[in-house]
Structure 1
Amino acid sequence: MLEDTGGPQDKRACAGLDPRGKRSMNQPGNGAIGSIVKQFTGRQAHPAVQFVKYSIAGAVATLVDVLVFYVCAWMIFPALGNDDIAVRLLSLPVRAVSESLRSRNFVIDSIIAFLFSNLTAYLINIVWVFTPGRHRRHVEIALFYAVSVSSIAIGTGVGWMLITVLGMSTTSSYVAKMVAAVMINYVCRKYLVFRG
């Protein structure tokens, strides 16, 4: 028989309890999963988990952006052509518009979608992804929107150029706009707007 040489703390550790007698999150079988769940439900998270949370929040905001953009581009300010992949996939009837009107409406539709998706992104970011408080609230909001406006302006400019200069489809231009905006937004929001 093995001799018990450990004190009360050793027995607690073997039972999966911390020195105060509470269940430890670092216990095999519950530590890794418990830690990840805690990071997903709270604000404090490892950078990799935070990026996944940012990606999920971004996906929600992007869904809002896509829905608002395409409703506007299809029904309010026409910006879709018959050759557009979204038109072909969804069999949408579209009104023929000139390239100059289509590129102008692309910008208008992008601005409208931006307003809705950016509000969605801000709310999710302050509640779930980042820790607010690096700046006073009004400065934080101003910086959030400034970063968003900068990234959307660069992305929309790229999209406008792709339509006007290269004659690319609205959907291809929209994807280019989104990629540029996501890269700029994450870096600036993490290091300039919020507390990381």
Structure 2
Amino acid sequence: MQFIKYLFCGGITFVVDVAVFYLMAWLLLPSLREGDPFGMVIGVFGWKIGAVPEEVLLRNFVINKVVAFLASNTAAYVTNAMFVFQGGRHQRFKEVGLFYLFSTISFVVFTWLSRLLISQFGWQVSWSYFFVFACAMVTNFTMRKKFVFKG
């Protein structure tokens, strides 16, 4: 039952992350390639993705991921603390610190993997994004359950 709650709260986190990342990647700091699946979706409405050089795409990708991470990780902490896990293993300040520490480590590792998939293996940003999000979700659940919250 706990993992079901985690998946539901992860869905909320996912919506926050996707909304922030894709709005920024499309409108503020372009980090999508032409032919990206997101481009196909917005193309239905007559909108387009602007082409950017690969080095700009990769730089903007990381910046957009950082902003989306901060927004979604805050949503994740609130929903996890309220609905999924029991607090009490640590004092609140330490609990929040450990939550962000493990999330940040996961973020760095999986953002590096995502960049690798995009730059070295030619993956579209969206395919890389969704793949590493799933990997991070499983990793984060394990770390939060074992080290941050009571259980």
Distance 1:158 1:172 in 2: 12
TM-score when scaled to structure 2? 0.95
Bigger fraction of residues in helix: 2
Secondary structure, counterpart of 2:113 in structure 1: helix
Q: Which of 12, 30, 41 is the matching residue for 1:60? A: 12
Equivalent residue number for residue 72 of structure 1:
24
Q: Please tell me the residue identity of whatever aligns with 2:64.
A: D
Q: Does 1:100 align with 2:55?
A: yes
Distance 2:145 2:106 in 1: 14
Mark the structure with the bigger radius of gyration: 1
Which structure 1 residue ranges, 4+ long, deviate > 2 Å from structure 2? none
Equivalent residue number for residue 147 of structure 1:
102
Q: Which has the higher contact order (CA 8 A, sep 6+)?
A: 2
2:21/2:68 contact within 8 Å kept: yes
Gaps of 5+ in 2: none
Equivalent residue number for residue 3 of structure 1:
none
Gaps of 5+ in 1: 1-48
Q: Quote the RMSD (CA, aligned, Å).
A: 0.9
Q: Please tell me the residue identity of whatever aligns with 1:73.
A: A
Post-superposition shift, 1:176? 2.1
Q: Percent identity?
A: 39
How many equivalent residue pairs? 148
Distance 2:82 2:3 in 1: 15
The CA deviation string for residues 147-187 of structure 1, in whole angstroms up to 9 with x for no partner, is 11011111111110011111110101101220221121000
Distance 1:164 1:81 in 2: 12
Distance 2:58 2:122 in 1: 10
Q: Which of 81, 84, 93 is the matching residue for 2:36? A: 84
Distance 1:84 1:131 in 2: 40
Distance 2:79 2:138 in 1: 18
1:43-192 aligned within 5 A? 49-91=1-43, 92-192=47-147
